[in-house]
Chains A and B, each alone.
Chain A
Amino acid sequence: MNLWMRQIGSVLRLEMKKTFLSKRGWWVYFLALGPVVLTLLHWLIEISQGSGHHTLGEDSLVFAGLFHFYYLRLGIFFGCVGIFSNLFRGEMLEKTLHYYYLTPLRRELLVAGKYVAGLATALFLFVGSTALSFLLIGRHFGAGYTDYILHGPGLSQLGSYVLVAALACIGYGAVFLMSGILFRNPMIPAAVVMVWENLNPFLPTVLKKISVIFYLKNLCPVEIPIPPPFNVMVIDADPTPFWIAVPGLLALSLILLVYSGLSARHTEISYGE
């Protein structure tokens, strides 16, 4: 294994020791576990009351709503703010970043190591949460749901949701890692990005395409019908094909990471003193 890979690996290990499942990230775990608890409660309630109040299709639609409106717009978004913004800004605030800057490590590799560590945490929490919630939401249908997953469209849907959740972590992770390096207060760019992403359905087609959520939404397996009166304000845009959306998002993330690496190279450690 060459030196760079060993160094990235060592940053990854250190970051995981320092931050993975640490007490400080309790609110990120809360964001990830919230839907799992809800779907678990849903399962338990349905079992205790007996199934038959709604159909599997309705549960599938409910999960689509949960994924669109909670996971993509809230849970993963703020989870990534919490995880990735703190990779650099958190260390600046705690006055510990100089330990890395005093090692013979290319700053670009430090960015890569920290990003991989943040991504591993985000994927574990949010992809895991998405998969668990999906498996739990129709669990009360018993064998019918198992059949839906194994022999129906369930597995393909699960794969799509997991892919979208992973891409969201990759994309938002790159955005918020960069904002943690460039801005003293990463919450300001986070708020701007959030407003932009949530305005997306109402933006003209050209502007729509300059966002993460647009590509992710198009990859989701179940579309959410927009209720009136909002449906008249929504501007339709041609969905981006899978083969453009996925590599496009990955390329955008890579560009942001390269820029973060170059910025980290010029970062000084003065801790505002």
Chain B
Amino acid sequence: MSPAMSESLITFANVSRFYGEVLGVNKVSLTIPPGVTSLVGPNGSGKTTLMNLMTGLIRPSQGEIRVLGMSPEDPEHLCRAVGYCAQFDNYPKGLTGYQFIYGFLRVFGMSHEECDQRTMAALQTVGLSDARNRPVAAYSKGMRQRVRLAQATAHDPQVVILDEPLNGLDPLARAEAIALFEQWGQKGRHVIVSSHILHEVDRISDQVILLSQGYVVAEGQIQSVRGEVKDQPMQILVRCDHPSQLAARLFQENHLVEAKIHTDGHGLLLRTTDADGFYLLLNRIVIESGLVVESVAPADDDVNSVYQYLIGGEGSTI
């Protein structure tokens, strides 16, 4: 990997972290490119440990981490490029929302004018301009979450790390936050998000890292990860005018594991172990029988399904 390339990546090389005898993460090797990356896994799987390692709040027991070419043990440089919104719903006592953001920006060494300008911009981004002079302690949970997000990103970091950033947000604020993450990702920033809400993770992620019991189970674009799960038949939803006729033809060709007619009568949800072969067969059947096919789409290449296949348990509410 060239030095220029490594300076745009976050890399973990055989990183382990133990808390005494308790495993945090074990032998993690990862490369995280710019864009939105989601960390997905059940409680205790090592998501927060990975985030704390990236930001230098804790050190690895072994292995090496580089964030845009910098060591997390060099906070003087790292923290100018990284913003971390940790999971703790705790705040320095006695500060207003404005003072909370402004005060920590001043620690960066910026002038009063620049800190003031950045603080106001950050507050505006999260919709808290009007509440800026109220003590953070008097904010609602959603407001506290938003002010933490503003505090973590007010210095305009290249890497934004967010631990459960959607917790406590109402649907409107959640949609706004997601749009913000997508916007940051599109601008070429690293946005690393952990979330329990898988369908939202699915919407925003360029890639996912699935964790279980301290190990990385899978990483990459979700469709690629799904493609690698060979032992689970692929689910495909075909919307067409005669689903039962299509099912009969497919079973004749011995290509299906299972097929279900959709409840509205205009779709067929099927499972196959050979997706590529199925698509070729479907083309042939459509041409031969004259079926009108409205859409064909994979039904389980989302985070939720991949999570269930690789880690088990219920999706969407890990």
Contacts and interface: CB of A to CB of B under 8 A. Distances in A.
Interface of A: 3, 6-7, 10-11, 13-14, 17-19, 22, 24, 91, 94-96, 98-107, 268-271
Contact of A99 (B19, B78, B92, B106): B92
A271 B56 contact: no
Contacts of A100: 104, 107
12 contacts: A7-B109, A10-B107, A17-B103, A22-B94, A95-B90, A100-B107, A101-B57, A101-B75, A102-B79, A106-B75, A106-B76, A270-B58
B79 A13 contact: no
A248 to B, nearest CB: 33
Contacts of B19: 270
B99 interface: yes
A10 B99 CA distance: 12
Contact of A18 (B59, B86, B95, B107): B95
- Quick one: which of A22, A96, A99, A270 has the most chain B CB within 10 A? A99
B58 A269 contact: yes
B91 interface: yes
Contacts of A14: 92, 103-104, 106-107
Nearest to A106: B76
Interface string B79-117: 110111010101111110001000110111100000000
Contacts of B58: 268-270
A7 B99 CA distance: 16
A100, A102, A106 interface centre (most CB from chain B within 10 Å):
A102
Contacts of B11: none
Nearest to A8: B107
A17 B52 contact: no
A13 B106 contact: yes
A269 B52 contact: yes
A3 B19 CA distance: 36
B156 to A, nearest CB: 13
Contacts of A11: 107
B55 interface: yes
Contact of B93 (A18, A103, A269): A18
A98 B86 contact: yes
Interface in B44-68: 52, 55-59
Contacts of B90: 94-96
Nearest to A110: B107
B26 interface: no
* Range for the number of chain B residues in contact with chain A: 20 to 34
A34 B56 CA distance: 44
Interface of B: 19, 52, 55-59, 75-80, 82-84, 86, 88, 90-95, 99, 103-104, 106-109, 151-152
B60 to A, nearest CB: 11
B104 A103 contact: yes
Given A98-B57, A270-B58, A104 B93 contact: no
A269 B163 CA distance: 15
A270 B58 CA distance: 7
B107 A103 contact: yes
Contacts of B86: 98, 102
Contacts of A3: 109
B106 A94 contact: no
* Central interface residue in B19, B93, B107, by most chain A CB within 10 Å: B107
Contacts of B108: 7, 103-104
A94 B95 CA distance: 14
Nearest to B89: A95
A271 B87 CA distance: 12
A142 to B, nearest CB: 43
Given A10-B107, A98-B86, A17 B99 contact: yes
Given A3-B109, A270-B19, A270-B52, A96 B76 contact: no
Nearest to B88: A95
Closest 6 CB pairs of A and B: A10-B106, A95-B90, A269-B57, A104-B79, A103-B107, A14-B103
A185 to B, nearest CB: 19
Nearest to B19: A270
Contacts of B109: 3, 6-7, 10, 104
A210 B103 CA distance: 40
Contacts of B59: 268
Contacts of B79: 102-105
B131 to A, nearest CB: 18
